[in-house]
Structure 1
Amino acid sequence: MTNRIKLSPLVGEIVARMETDIIFGRMRPNQEILEDTLMARFEAKRHVVRSAIQELVAMGLATKVRSRSARVKDFTPREVDEVYHMRALLQRNAAHIMPFPVSPQKLNVLKEIHVRYVAAVSVGADKYLIHTLNDEFHAQLFSLCSNTELCRAIHAYAERSNPIRSYGITDASWLDQAIEEHAAMIHAIQTQDRAALEQLVVDHMQPTRRRWEQAYAGPYEILATQALAPSRQTALDQASPGMVTGAG
C-alpha cells in the first residue's frame, strides 16, 4: 500500500478495508464503488470518502472517469501481460543481484515468517492474516537484494496486481503450493542456487494469474501461460523444499 502516513486515520481505514474487500473478492473487477454506500458504511463525510477513492485510484485498485462513479479496476488481458511482465523483470532481477551468502540472521527472519505463515494456513486462520504474512514473507525475501528502490517497485506492482491476485489467493490447493514454493525459495537461498531462485520468484506468481485468465480471458489466452508449468517444476525439484523445516 502507498504511504498512509499522509492520510487521515479514517481515510486510511477506508482504504485498508476496501483493499481487503478487493483482494478477497468481496468486490469484483468493474464493480461500482458508490460514495453514498461508503458514507453509510463508515459513517464518513463525502470529502473523506472521495479522498479514500482517490487513494484507491492512485494505488491502481480502482478507476474513475469524470462525472461517473469509481469502479474496481478491471484489467484487460494485455494489461495483465504488461503488469506481470514488469513483476517478472523486477523480481527476477532482485534474485539475480541478491548478495550470497545471505547472513544467518537475515535468513532466520525469513524462516520465522515462513513458520508463522505455515501455522496460519494449517489452522485455517483469518484470510487477511494469511495474506499479510504472505506479503511479509515476500517483502523480507526481496529486501535481501539490498536495493531499496527495486523493493519499492516490486511492492508497487504486487499491489497493483491485487485485483488479479484476488482470484484464488486463499484457495486451499494454492496455499499448499505457496507453502511448498516458499520453502523452496528459502532452500535456494541457503544453497546459493541463484538459477532456481530466479525461476521460483517468477513462477510463484502464475497460479492466481491463470485463475484470472480462466475466469476472464478464455481458452485462447490460457494456452500461453500453460507453457510456464514445466519450468516451475524444474525449479522446485532443484530447490528440494523438504529441506526447510523451521526457523533455526
Structure 2
Amino acid sequence: MSRSSVQDADDLETRPSAASVAEEIVGSVEEDIVLGRLHPKERLVEEDLIERFDCKRHVVRQALFQLEDIGLVERIRNRGAFVKAYTPEEVEHLYAMREILELAGVDALPLPAPSSWLDELSELHQRYSAAVDAQDLRRVFHLNIAFHRALFAATGNPYLADTINEFAQKAHGIRFIAIADSDSLSRARHEHQAMIDAIRRQDRDALRELCRQHLLPSKNRYLQLHPTRR
C-alpha cells in the first residue's frame, strides 16, 4: 500500500462521521438559539455553517432537516432556513401540551422516592445553582435540561419521558428570553429546590403545581415581548 493510501485510510478512521458532525451542528445551533446568539426569523446561511463546521453541504442540510423536525428551524421554499418564530397561538398550544405531559409525568413518579434518584436530583441542582451564581448561561442551559430529564426519567415510562423531552426541546426557541433574565434564573433555581423538597415530603400535589408554574415564565415573557409575532 502506498504512503498516500495509508494516509487516506488513517484520515477515514479519524475523521468524524457525517452523522456526528450533523449532530454537532444541531447542538450548536440549538445552543445559539437558546442563548440569544441567533434570533427568531434570522436566516441560517448554509455557506456559513459549512465554513464554521468544515463539512460538506449535505451534512449541513441534514442538520437543518433535524432542526426543522425538532421545531427550532423553519425551511421556506426558495428562501432557505430560518430560526422559527412562534405565533402566540403556537406558543399556547405548545405549552398546553407541555403541561399535559409533565403533569402526567408527575403522576407516574415513584413516591416514596429512591434515595439514589434524590441524590442525583440534588447533585444536578447544586451544579445548576453554581452555574447560575457564575452567570455561566451555557452550563445553566445544559444543567437545566439534565435536571428535568433526570426528574422525568424516574417515571419508568421511556415513551412518556421521551415525549416530555421532545416538547421541552421544541420550546427552546421560546425560552431564550427567560434564560438571560436574572429574576427568571433565580426563580427557576428556587423551584428546582422546591421540587426536590416536595418529592422528599411525598407531596405529589405540591409537585404538580410546582411543575405547572415552572412552565409559565418563559411562555409569558415571550408573549409579553412579542404579542403579535407572526
Cα distance in 1 between the residues matched to 2:222 and 2:74: 19
The percentage of counterpart residues that share the same residue type is: 38
Amino acid at match of 1:185: M
Q: Secondary structure at the match of 2:93?
A: helix
Correspondence for 1:212: 222
Q: State the partner residue of 2:24.
A: 13
SS at match of 2:82: strand
Choose from 134, 141, 150 the match for 1:140. 150
- The answer as to 2:18 corresponding to 1:40 is no
How many residues align structurally? 212
TM-score normalised by the chain length of structure 2: 0.88
Output one character per residue of 1:224-248: Cα deviation in whole Å (capped at 9) or x when no partner: xxxxxxxxxxxxxxxxxxxxxxxxx
Q: Secondary structure at the match of 2:113?
A: coil
SS in 2 for 1:44: coil
1:7, distance to aligned residue in structure 2 (A): 5.9
Aligned to 1:174: 184
Aligned to 1:79: 90
* TM superposition shift of 1:66: 2.4
Within a 5 Å distance, the mapping from 1:76-155 to structure 2 comes to: 76-125=87-136, 127-155=137-165
The answer on whether the counterparts of 1:22 and 1:28 sit within 8 Å (CA) in structure 2 is yes
Name the structure 2 match of 1:193: 203
Which structure has the larger Rg?
A: 2
Partner residue of 1:244? none
1:67 counterpart letter in structure 2: N
Name structure 2 gaps, 5 residues minimum. Answer: 1-16
Gaps of 5+ in 1: 1-5, 219-248
> Distance in 2 between the 1:76 and 1:124 partners?
30
Distance 2:111 2:61 in 1: 47
Q: Would the aligned equivalents of 1:167 and 1:209 in 2 still touch at CA under 8 Å?
A: no
**Code of the aligned partner of 1:128:** R
Residue in structure 2 matched with residue 231 of structure 1 by the alignment: none
